[in-house]
Chain A
């Protein structure tokens, strides 16, 4: 026994040492860009999911008709031009000679197939919005008709859910399409080790130029700390969502760099306006004056956020700088509490899911509200139950976030404040205001850019007065990279495109 134990230990040690050697060898070849993110993609069928990790991979495989540049302008992608025929109708001219990864050429029929399939998918139908019909005019021309005028249509067509699929590939793959995606993008799907990584290889026939890096691997590294570690040890080239505390480590590392940018996401503190005392606007305003966003940003996300006056980020079309910006003022807050009849405060609860950032925000809020005698218990609820509970209005107050992925104010405001969207559709404050409904409808149905901007400005000013949500901060997103990774550009929506990324030689 003694001997066999010794032998085993020896073997284990040898294994350890050999392991170290092995790793160095593999690091020599640089034909693969390894990207780490916090979760595995669910499916690469853009119509079957609406989650960020999937979108981040899908963004490399697919193209949409239109896309958004770094300055949030809508620019051509698979559609080279478009024309508004009337308020309800837009005609798109498609790029010619674009090949899907399966060799098929992109035709208008594929676009029709894709959009029809999208409308039928409960998961993403709301992104297709009010699209009524899609008509093929010729192989490279397509006409989209909406039920009523739909201002944000172009923005919605830039969403990853609007990625154009190959009819043939989808039909052939059947139920397994999500694991065998076929797109037109710069990289094509190669392999998926479930739970671990997704491998892509370069698309040699990409219409916008072939990428320099032959392979891309998306690795799933769940723990934030570990993504930084993997970046430091050289196991990955790019790591998404560096933990705020680790940002300086990356920034100050001799081989690493950190890219940061304002995102389209917002974190807000919502009140259930159906419940006492949150039906009273003075109570909501009192809370607005009691909260100090900057403290939250500093304590919880180490400065990776911007205090805001709106439920949509400044980068979203329609953001208004004119809406009122609350700043901490306990005097005013207490006075409003007295006016509302809560001089002695009250007890309430805040719901949050188990996201550590939100749990921490809740703790700071709890401490801040205690100053105006609001005794707020924190209810950490498991995600499924959380979504369920707040959609049904079981909560008093809650912490939530919203990403205006389309980059258009409609997506960020309509579901949150329109009375038709109560509950699961987005309005979990159960805010009900006829005037607000009218303004939101008008802004959605207008196809006039200036008119929409004005309407959204009014909406945001009104919202800050009414304060059904207290918008805490706009998130700053980041990506950590090796210094020799060049050409990486942040996408405000978070699904960064790797097109144009190369290793510095």
Chain B
């Protein structure tokens, strides 16, 4: 997809490429943190008031503001955040008093588990359906599997989640309705997340596959007498996977941070939920920590995807070297 970025690294060894990408990440993270800091500072809502609750006398609020350093100029506060962040200190949550980094670290595995399983489900559904759909374009199978795949993305996530709970927890009693007890509790949330991504992966696989099976080298393979399923699985799939992997990467990144509704429905203790709660509590350190962390995770996933390309597409790999 974005080959031009990779081309920049032509003739550099792989590690230089990675370093360069990590280096490019810094200004984005700095920009993100500045934007978030500004949003948190200049939108209504006083963190001190929120901490103290509904019955806080004005003096108490003022005192707390002073104590929290909220009266310092914006630049001073931002600089001190960045200064601390560089040393790995993301500060403490306004509302819980916990170290932000520690809490992210304790919740991130949950988010990662959920996102990984969600993406796996999406791949298991999306890639085969996309291939079948593409190889039988405009057939009944194509139309019906696309409609089914699209239904996944057409349902508001929380609604789908509630329905799944009703079916699998209440009526069938097979799976827990929420929380994070054992690994069976991850199935429903992952399914909820996965169906949305499955539709996107299906669509991408289908259109990528449609494009690839019209390529000359597929005709060459057929002209060689290669059996059709081998044409698809050996010759077409690997080529078609490159844009699909991009989408999978994007979806994975998106699921890492965008699973708020699902996390709420299933009371899943993830980072997304933590972020939204923090936003609503005006808990600036937590918001900054989670957003920056998720943005970094998102970028790293994309970097991993770019590296993965190299293993699939030798043309790209040669550019790393």
Contacts from A to B (Cβ < 8 Å): 1-2, 5, 8-9, 12, 15-16, 18-20, 22-23, 26, 40, 42-43, 45, 48-51, 122-123, 125-126, 175-176, 178-179, 193-197, 219-223, 225-226, 229-230, 232-233, 235, 382-385, 387-389, 391, 400, 402, 415, 421-426
How many A-B residue contacts, CB cutoff 8 Å?
Answer: 195
Contact B281 A235 (CB under 8 A): no
Q: Nearest chain-A residue to B51 (Cβ)?
A: A123
User: Given contacts A22-B182, A232-B170, A235-B176, are A194 and B103 in contact (CB under 8 A)?
Assistant: yes
Q: Which of these, A9, A40, A123, A196, contacts B180 with CB under 8 Å?
A: A196
Query: B residues within 8 A CB of A220?
Result: 179, 267, 269
Does B87 reach chain A (CB closer than 8 Å)?
A: no
Query: B residues within 8 A CB of A232?
Result: 170
User: How far apart sit A45 and B92, CA to CA, in the bound complex (Å)?
Assistant: 15
Contact A229 B177 (CB under 8 A): yes
Interface on chain B toward A: helix, strand, loop, or mixed SS? Answer: helix
Query: B residues within 8 A CB of A122?
Result: 48, 52, 56, 60-61, 63-64, 67
How many interface residues does B have (CB within 8 Å)?
Answer: 69
Contact A384 B184 (CB under 8 A): no
User: How far apart sit A15 and B124, CA to CA, in the bound complex (Å)?
Assistant: 14
A94 smallest CB distance to B (angstroms): 28
Query: A residues within 8 A CB of B128?
Result: 1-2, 5
User: Given contacts A122-B60, A384-B280, A415-B55, are A178 and B174 in contact (CB under 8 A)?
Assistant: no
Q: Nearest chain-B residue to A401 (Cβ)?
A: B54
Query: A residues within 8 A CB of B47?
Result: 384
User: How far apart sit A422 and B59, CA to CA, in the bound complex (Å)?
Assistant: 11
Contact B281 A384 (CB under 8 A): yes
Contact B49 A12 (CB under 8 A): no
Contact A50 B165 (CB under 8 A): no
Contact B54 A221 (CB under 8 A): no
CB 8 Å contact bits of B57-75 with A (1 = contact, 0 = none): 1101101100100000000
Contact A226 B265 (CB under 8 A): yes
Q: Which of these, B56, B103, B233, contacts A1 with CB under 8 Å?
A: B233
Contact B63 A225 (CB under 8 A): no
With A122-B64, A235-B181, A391-B49 known, 20 other A-B pairs at CB within 8 A are A2-B128, A19-B175, A23-B184, A48-B97, A49-B51, A49-B95, A122-B61, A123-B52, A193-B269, A194-B103, A195-B274, A223-B162, A229-B169, A229-B177, A230-B176, A384-B280, A385-B45, A402-B54, A425-B56, A426-B54
Q: Nearest chain-B residue to A411 (Cβ)?
A: B55
User: Given contacts A221-B267, A233-B169, A424-B58, are A178 and B98 in contact (CB under 8 A)?
Assistant: yes
Contact A233 B176 (CB under 8 A): yes
Contact A16 B63 (CB under 8 A): no
Contact A384 B177 (CB under 8 A): no
Q: Which of these, A42, A123, A125, A384, contacts B45 with CB under 8 Å?
A: A384
A413 smallest CB distance to B (angstroms): 12
Contact A235 B96 (CB under 8 A): no
Q: Nearest chain-B residue to A196 (Cβ)?
A: B269
Q: Which of these, B54, B106, B232, B265, contacts A400 with CB under 8 Å?
A: B54
